[in-house]
Amino acid sequence: MPSSAEITRADVAHLARLARLSLTEAELDHFGEQLGGILAAVSRIGDLDTADVPPTSHALAITNVVREDVLRPGLTQDEALAAAPAAEEGRFRVPRILEEEA
């Protein structure tokens, strides 16, 4: 367990970037303090010796759920696009993804 649960302003900005959240200056300060507090509290789990304990990622031990590969009704194109913020020619219209050439 990392000894320090301190979250710097730069850490919060980095996390926000990874999580695609454009935070205000005030949010960066406020969340930094709160995340540090939460991490300090949950770090208690590091006190337990778990060297021989396997992880549990899911409550049910189900693997390889399969079904017949048959056609069944799905959404129509109109239904799929009905809630889109923007659509064009039967497709989702999105902002530019690639940076423009300099």
**CA–CA gap between residue 35 and residue 38 (Å, rounded):** 5
Give the residue, chosen from 26, 53, 71, 102, that forms a contact with another protein under the rule CB under 8 A.
53
Residue 4 in contact with another protein, rule: CB under 8 A: no
For residue 64, the minimal CB distance to another protein (Å) is 10
Instruction: Tell me if 16 contacts another protein by CB under 8 A.
Output: yes
The two structure tokens encoding residue 52 = 């021989």
- The C-alpha atoms of residue 45 and residue 39 are separated, in whole angstroms, by 11
Residue 16, SS3 per DSSP: helix
Residue numbers 57-96 binding another protein by CB under 8 A = 57-60, 62, 65, 67, 75, 79-80, 82-86, 92, 94-96
For the CB of residue 44, give the shortest distance to another protein in the complex, in Å. 5
Identify which of residues 10 and 92 has a Cβ nearer to another protein in the complex: 92
- Report long-range pairs for 9-12 (Cβ below 8 Å, ≥24 apart): none
Two tokens at 44? 């208690």
